[in-house]
């Protein structure tokens, strides 16, 4: 059925889907791991922050801006030597994760920064008045209070990341987006193009739906 | 207990330097409910934040029980802050957490045992009369209830000082009343010293035994509430007192006042036999007294009475009556009535 309409095997389609999820999952994981401390650093060291430090803020802010200003497709090839150093190869799904992390971490850092900045300054003041240390302020006040907003930030980040995985095909990353470009676009297979677009739409709907549901649950406790 | 010595603080803003605190000194003694009143921008918020070092003075010192706050390191400061509770105008609770969790936070910061936390939170909830709200989310509470939770949270670690930053300013009059009663209960039953800032004279009148009036970063007047209320010195203090204690002769009566006869304002405390005083004047001196205005106010259990009299008669007699009043146990003030 799939073979006749789309002109590729069902296995190929499923494999691409799994590659997308694989790239998305790992790069989101590592990206968050980097993005949270970056976002926190931006919030804590900014002027008027709990640990206001102009030098650290200037450097972090600069790095985030710098990486974010490189288009992903260029980032992909630009950091290839680093990718090779890190995972031993420049191509393949695994290799695609490295530039994806570079792409998403500063983006998440910005999203996390704005989520954390939504926390009312009064809450931080109350925390300080209670004698909370910086770590305790983050642990007991900042993150719990920004939880729902952080979930939405991660949702937005994931969707941005999904778009970037399509370009990972350039270095043989595979995935749904790659399928659309190599099999759909280059072979004039319009049915496949359409199918991949629909799959990507479903992916986005699914991610956004889950994100919204979790955020709503955190906000309304239902 | 709290001693602020010559505290001075200047903030640099886009519109130039703001002198938030201009050599402010004040002393809060153990057991006081000390109120600082002033309009917004008077420097009250900065002043109250000196006490837990959320703000530091540019010059001057702050002592808590003789300990110089500026000498404390980070760790010592955090320990000191746990002995000072603070409640806020906007409550500053974690809105998406339960009441229980909010009150438990200061105890979690002390790494208390779960059973200790449970017991303490229940105690505090019953103290603020919200026993059944433990599992409710803060976002579902009314303003008054939120402030009670804010107070319970501030009391969790058994502080010796409670700082109230406009704690009732976001509340309606009835709720304000109940929160003020709660603060009084905290002061009396738990022996906690309270320093509060407010722009409502009603708050001072209801619960403060001492008051300081702030204007443009300076304390312009301070002392026992009853003294400041009965004899305000500065124009701004008079304005504030007027908002809660009326001592103005009604317009229609002003028009009827005999222009030459002296008008006297008598202010008395406690069970002063003013009626007897008035009749004594009538008997002993050849004067007629007319009461133009009278009011009785209660300030923390003390009666503050104000009577405005007109003394009519021969000048020699009214002068004698006036001199006599000055020898009595009342504050006497000559009032000049301006006719249009």
pLDDT digits (tens, 9 = 90+) for A60-77: 999 999 999 999 989 888
Select from 3.30.1370.30, 1.10.3720.10, 3.40.50.2300, 3.30.70.360 the CATH code of A2-220.
1.10.3720.10
Q: What are phi and psi of A49, to 5 degrees?
A: -75, 175
DSSP letter at B274? Answer: H
H or E stretch covering B194: strand B193-198
Q: What integer pLDDT is reported at residue B222 of this predicted model?
A: 94
Q: How far apart are CA B160 and CA B186, in angstroms?
A: 10
Angle at B280 between CA B276 and CA B285, to 5 degrees: 160
Shortest distance between the Cα of A117 and any Cα of chain B, in A, equals: 15
pLDDT digits (tens, 9 = 90+) for A9-55: 888 888 889 999 999 999 999 999 999 999 999 999 999 899 999 99
Q: How far apart are CA B194 and CA B208, in angstroms?
A: 9
Contact: B96, A123; criterion CB under 8 Å = no
Query: Which positions in chain B touch A133 (Cβ < 8 Å)?
Result: 74, 78
Number of H helices, E strands in chain A: 11, 0
The domain B251-335 belongs to what CATH superfamily?
ACT domain (3.30.70.260)
pLDDT digits (tens, 9 = 90+) for A91-127: 888 899 999 999 999 999 999 999 999 999 999 999 9
pLDDT digits (tens, 9 = 90+) for B247-271: 778 888 887 787 778 888 888 877 6
- As annotated, the residues of chain B forming the CATH 3.40.50.300 domain(s) are 2-244
Contact: B109, A123; criterion CB under 8 Å = no
SS3 of residue B57 by DSSP: coil
CATH code of B2-244, in short, is 3.40.50.300
Q: What is the CA radius of gyration of chain B?
A: 24
Q: How far apart are CA B133 and CA A133, in angstroms?
A: 29
Shortest distance between the Cα of A53 and any Cα of chain B, in A, equals: 17
Q: How many Å separate Cα A216 from the centre of its chain?
A: 21
Q: Which of B159, B20, B27, B21 is nearest to B80 (CA)?
A: B159
Q: How far apart are CA B150 and CA A80, in angstroms?
A: 54
Interface residue ranges in chain A relative to chain B, Cβ cutoff 8 Å: 120, 122-123, 125-126, 128-133, 136, 140-141, 144-145, 147-148, 218-219, 221
Sign of CA dihedral B139, B141, B146, B149: negative
**Spans in chain B with pLDDT lower than 70:** 271-275, 338-340
Over residues A163-171, mean pLDDT: 83
**CA within 13 Å, CB half, B44:** 26
Count interface pairs A-B at CB distance under 8 A: 60
Per the prediction, chain A carries an average pLDDT of 91
Contact: B96, A125; criterion CB under 8 Å = no
Nearest-10 crossing angle of helices A10-45, A54-69:
150
Contact: B95, A145; criterion CB under 8 Å = yes
Domain boundaries, chain A: 2-220
SS3 of residue B254 by DSSP: helix
């Amino acid at each position: 059925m799939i073979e006749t309409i789309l002109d590729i095997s069902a296995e190929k389609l499923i494999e691409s889907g799994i590659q997308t999820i694989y790239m998305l999952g790992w790069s989101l994981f590592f990206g968050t791991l980097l993005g949270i401390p970056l976002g926190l650093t931006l919030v804590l060291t900014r002027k008027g922050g709990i640990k206001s430090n102009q030098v650290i803020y200037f450097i972090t802010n600069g790095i985030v801006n710098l990486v974010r200003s490189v288009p992903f497709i260029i980032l992909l090839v630009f950091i290839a030597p680093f990718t090779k150093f890190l995972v031993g190869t420049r191509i393949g799904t695994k290799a695609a994760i490295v530039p994806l992390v570079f792409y998403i971490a500063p983006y998440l850092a910005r999203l996390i920064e704005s989520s954390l900045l939504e926390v009312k300054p009064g809450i931080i003041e109350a925390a300080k008045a209670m004698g909370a240390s910086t770590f305790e302020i983050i642990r007991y006040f900042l993150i719990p209070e920004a939880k729902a907003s952080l979930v939405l930030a991660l949702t937005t980040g994931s969707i941005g990341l999904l778009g970037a995985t399509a370009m990972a095909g350039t270095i043989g990353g595979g995935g749904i987006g790659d399928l659309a470009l190599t099999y759909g676009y280059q072979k004039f297979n319009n049915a496949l193009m359409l199918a991949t677009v629909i799959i990507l739409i479903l992916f986005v709907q699914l991610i956004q739906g889950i994100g919204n549901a979790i955020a709503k649950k955190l906000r309304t406790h239902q | 207990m709290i001693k602020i010595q010559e505290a001075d603080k200047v903030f640099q803003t886009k519109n130039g330097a703001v002198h938030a605190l201009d050599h402010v000194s004040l002393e809060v003694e153990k057991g006081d409910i000390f109120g600082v009143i002033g309009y917004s921008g008077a420097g009250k918020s900065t002043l109250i934040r000196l006490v837990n070092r959320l703000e530091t003075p540019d010059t001057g010192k702050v002592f808590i029980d003789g300990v110089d706050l500026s000498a404390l390191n980070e760790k010592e400061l955090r320990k000191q802050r746990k002995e000072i509770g603070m409640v806020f105008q906007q409550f500053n609770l974690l809105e998406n957490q339960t009441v229980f969790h909010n009150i438990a936070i200061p105890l979690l910061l002390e790494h208390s045992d779960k059973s200790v936390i449970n017991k303490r939170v229940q105690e505090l909830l019953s103290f603020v009369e919200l026993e059944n709200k433990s599992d409710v989310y803060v976002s579902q509470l009314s303003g008054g209830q939120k402030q009670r939770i804010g107070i319970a949270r501030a009391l969790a670690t058994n502080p010796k000082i409670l700082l109230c930053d406009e704690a009732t300013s976001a509340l309606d009059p009835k709720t304000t009343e109940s929160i003020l009663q709660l603060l009084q209960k905290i002061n009396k039953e738990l022996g906690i010293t309270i320093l509060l800032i407010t722009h409502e004279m009603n708050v001072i009148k209801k619960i403060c035994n001492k008051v300081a009036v702030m204007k443009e970063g300076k304390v312009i007047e301070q002392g026992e509430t009853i003294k400041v209320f009965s004899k305000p010195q500065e124009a701004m203090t008079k304005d504030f007192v007027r908002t809660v204690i009326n001592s103005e002769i009604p317009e229609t009566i002003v028009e009827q006042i005999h222009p030459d006869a002296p008008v006297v304002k008598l202010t008395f405390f406690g069970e002063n036999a003013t009626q007897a005083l008035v009749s004594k004047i009538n008997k002993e001196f050849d004067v007629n007294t007319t009461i133009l205005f009278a009011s009785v106010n209660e300030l923390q259990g003390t009666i503050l009475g104000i009577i405005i009299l007109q003394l009519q008669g021969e000048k020699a007699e009214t002068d004698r009556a006036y001199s006599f009043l000055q020898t009595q146990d009342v504050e006497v003030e000559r009032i000049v009535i301006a006719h249009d």
